[in-house]
């Protein structure tokens, strides 16, 4: 069983990833959530995961991380995720609060007492950059960082960069240069493993968890509908699917670097195949991805009523 932590900025697709992991608790042992500014402000994204925990009546610890990138100003993206960072579902304000210690202190304590922890990073890499810069002794306890981020053939925030890496390229460079094994799910594999808009309709008449998923997709898919797309990537879902079924992905190994500046190139990820402890996911079986996701939500409908 893998020990996991989510480093996240929920986020519609973050929640899809988290739900899928919760459905596989026999394979993925979740220790908690570290939040970070990204899709929206730190307070908003932290509130989002607390709301979802309350909806599901689960109680994993939530730790607030960094509220801004290492160098740049934070730049939320309400066009994709709304003003709350998770527009669509109407969820009660949570009674639960984030834990009193910071995400960085949480990581240090967890990694001091556990070996082979996998960090699933679904957000800008600010928390992990600070952790590895200021506490390099924890590296040996991290089995792998599996992240959604980067692009090989063109970006979604400037010409060449993907948002998570672009939002804090300095932190991303620290992570890639740290020596910790990294598996990167770039935009291309996320597009390859996307969901058809018509497939989201299966959740409309489903159970308790499906109802949440439907509300998430109803808002999230609006970006695709306005552009007359028949499919949308569920970006943050891909790292979890990879951990559950790596054989449905094609990948290459080598070394990833990050460009720190340039209007078109800030945050661009450069991959050199060959020696190195980085892995880039290149392609996947879309139908196999959706089978895992659909079965996960169906199982949660039975568990949470």
DSSP letters, 80-91, are HH-TTSS-S---
Domains, in order of start, for the chain: 2-303 (3.90.245.10)
CA–CA dist 163, 149 (Å, integer)? 7
* Chain mean pLDDT for the chain: 97
pTM higher than 0.85, yes or no?
yes
Please give the helix or strand (H or E) that residue 17 lies within, else none: helix 12-22
Closest-CA residue to 234 (of 220, 222, 218)? 220
Tokens representing 123 are: 């957000």
Q: pLDDT for 118-172, tens place per residue?
A: 999 999 999 999 999 999 999 999 999 999 999 999 999 999 999 999 999 999 9
Q: What pLDDT shows up at residue 305?
A: 78
pLDDT for position 79: 83
Using CA atoms, how far residue 39 sits from 57, 80, 82, 239, 305, in Å, is 24, 8, 9, 18, 29
| 273 backbone dihedrals φ, ψ, rounded to 5° | -70, 145
**Would you state the pLDDT for residue 14?**
98
39-78 pLDDT, tens digit each: 999 999 999 999 999 999 999 999 999 999 999 999 998 8
């Amino acid at each position: 069983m893998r020990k996991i932590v989510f480093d996240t900025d929920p986020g519609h697709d973050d929640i899809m990833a988290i739900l899928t992991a919760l459905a596989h608790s026999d394979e993925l042992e979740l220790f908690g959530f570290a939040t970070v500014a990204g899709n929206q402000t730190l307070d908003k994204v932290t509130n989002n995961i607390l709301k979802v925990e309350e909806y599901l009546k689960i109680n994993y610890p939530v730790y607030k991380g960094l509220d801004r990138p290492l160098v740049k100003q934070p730049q939320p993206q309400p066009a994709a995720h709304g003003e709350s960072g998770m527009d669509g579902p109407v969820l009660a304000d949570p009674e639960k609060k984030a834990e009193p210690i910071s995400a960085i202190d949480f990581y240090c304590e967890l990694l001091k007492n556990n070996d082979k922890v996998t960090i699933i990073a679904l957000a800008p890499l600010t928390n992990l950059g600070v952790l590895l810069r200021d506490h390099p002794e924890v590296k040996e306890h991290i089995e792998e960082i599996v992240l959604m981020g980067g692009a090989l053939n063109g970006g979604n925030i400037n010409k060449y960069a993907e948002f998570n890496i672009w939002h804090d390229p300095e932190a991303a460079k620290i992570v890639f240069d740290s020596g910790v094994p990294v598996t990167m799910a770039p935009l291309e594999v996320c597009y390859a493993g996307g969901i058809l808009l018509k497939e989201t309709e299966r959740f409309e008449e489903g159970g308790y968890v499906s109802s949440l998923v439907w509300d998430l997709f109803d808002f999230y898919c609006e970006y695709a509908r306005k552009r007359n797309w028949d499919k949308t990537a569920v970006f943050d879902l891909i790292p979890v699917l990879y951990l559950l079924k790596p054989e449905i992905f094609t990948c290459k190994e080598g070394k990833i670097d990050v460009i720190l500046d340039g209007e078109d190139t800030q945050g661009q990820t450069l991959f050199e195949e060959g020696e190195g402890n980085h892995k880039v996911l290149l392609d996947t079986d879309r139908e196999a991805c959706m089978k895992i996701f659909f079965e996960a939500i169906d199982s949660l409908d039975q568990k949470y009523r």
